[in-house]
Chain A
Amino acid sequence: DTAVSQTPKYLVTQMGNDKSIKCEQNLGHDTMYWYKQDSKKFLKIMFSYNNKELIINETVPNRFSPKSPDKAHLNLHINSLELGDSAVYFCASSRGGSGYGYTFGSGTRLTVV
């Protein structure tokens, strides 16, 4: 069974649209994250949630809004999509605290046209 699953795997949409990416983990982890990987493969954290509470919010435009209905889910909603939002978005989870590492989802490739 997939430990951290994201849907959809691919998403192609037009500028100005609103879209959501869903993430679910069945590992019982307390902390979930969203990372963005750009075309040069740079990975940067966007958000982290611990038990449904926002812990980290890096410098991300307000158009990005994470939502965590429970500790097993962390969804990412993006409003008014722009060309520069095209990237691969990775969800991850961890037990929290350094040393446990993360378990990553397989990524969602978002292409804005």
Chain B
Amino acid sequence: GEDVEQSLFLSVREGDSSVINCTYTDSSSTYLYWYKQEPGAGLQLLTYIFSNMDMKQDQRLTVLLNKKDKHLSLRIADTQTGDSAIYFCAESINTDKLIFGTGTRLQVFP
């Protein structure tokens, strides 16, 4: 089945690392994505990882994939106030549609 779950809220202090977690159920996922949505805006693709990879790093972002446990995480190093947004993980399967997670609202306080 298609089900992608995330925790709803995360609050971190500026300068700390943030870790946003995601679990999915469909083992046939080919790519997994992280999107960022700022208030009143559309979705911005942050990064993606192919399902046969364990890790991908892109500047302050690190994606970890545990395919056995169907667990995906996004680590943001040195979190800034501008990182405050809703973060969605998403999986794509063969049908080329994205199944989005429930979204995690990240709040960064000074």
| A residues neighboring B (CB under 8 Å) | 4, 31, 33, 40-45, 48, 55-56, 90, 92, 94, 96-99, 101-107
Question: Across the interface, do B45 and A42 meet the contact criterion of CB distance under 8 Å?
Answer: no
Distance, CA A90 to CA B86, complexed state (A): 16
Q: Which residues of B contact A48 (CB under 8 A)?
A: 96-97
Contacts of A92 in B (CB 8 A): 43
Partner of A104, one of B42, B50, B95: B42
> Could you tell me which residues of chain B, from 71 to 110, have a CB within 8 Å of some CB in chain A?
86, 88, 92-100, 102-103
What residues of chain B have their CB less than 8 Å away from a CB belonging to chain A?
30-31, 33, 37, 41-45, 48, 50, 86, 88, 92-100, 102-103
Q: How many A-B residue pairs have CB under 8 A?
A: 58
A56 to chain B: closest residue by CB: B97
Q: Are A43 and B88 in contact (CB under 8 A)?
A: yes
Cα of A103 to Cα of B37 in the assembled complex, Å: 13
- Name, among A41, A45, A103, the residue most crowded by chain B CB atoms within 10 Å (CB to CB): A41
Given A41-B86, A104-B43, A106-B42; A99-B97 close (CB under 8 Å): no
Q: Which residue of A lies closest to B29 (CB)?
A: A98
CB contact under 8 A between A41 and B103, given known A31-B96, A94-B96, A101-B33? yes
- Interchain CA distance A18-B40 in the complex, whole Å: 24
Taking the closest CB of chain B, its distance from the CB of A82, in whole angstroms, is: 23
Partner of B100, one of A31, A43, A96: A43
The 6 A-B residue pairs whose C-beta atoms are closest, nearest first, are A43-B100, A104-B42, A98-B30, A98-B92, A104-B43, A106-B42
Q: Which chain B residues border A44 with CB–CB below 8 Å?
A: 100
B38 to chain A, nearest CB (A): 10
Query: Cα distance A10–B95 when bound, in Å?
Result: 31
A sample of 25 cross-chain residue pairs with beta-carbon separation below 8 angstroms, ordered by A number, consists of: A33-B97, A40-B102, A41-B102, A41-B103, A42-B100, A43-B88, A43-B100, A44-B100, A48-B96, A55-B96, A56-B97, A90-B42, A90-B43, A92-B43, A94-B96, A96-B96, A98-B30, A99-B92, A101-B31, A101-B33, A102-B43, A102-B45, A103-B45, A106-B42, A107-B42
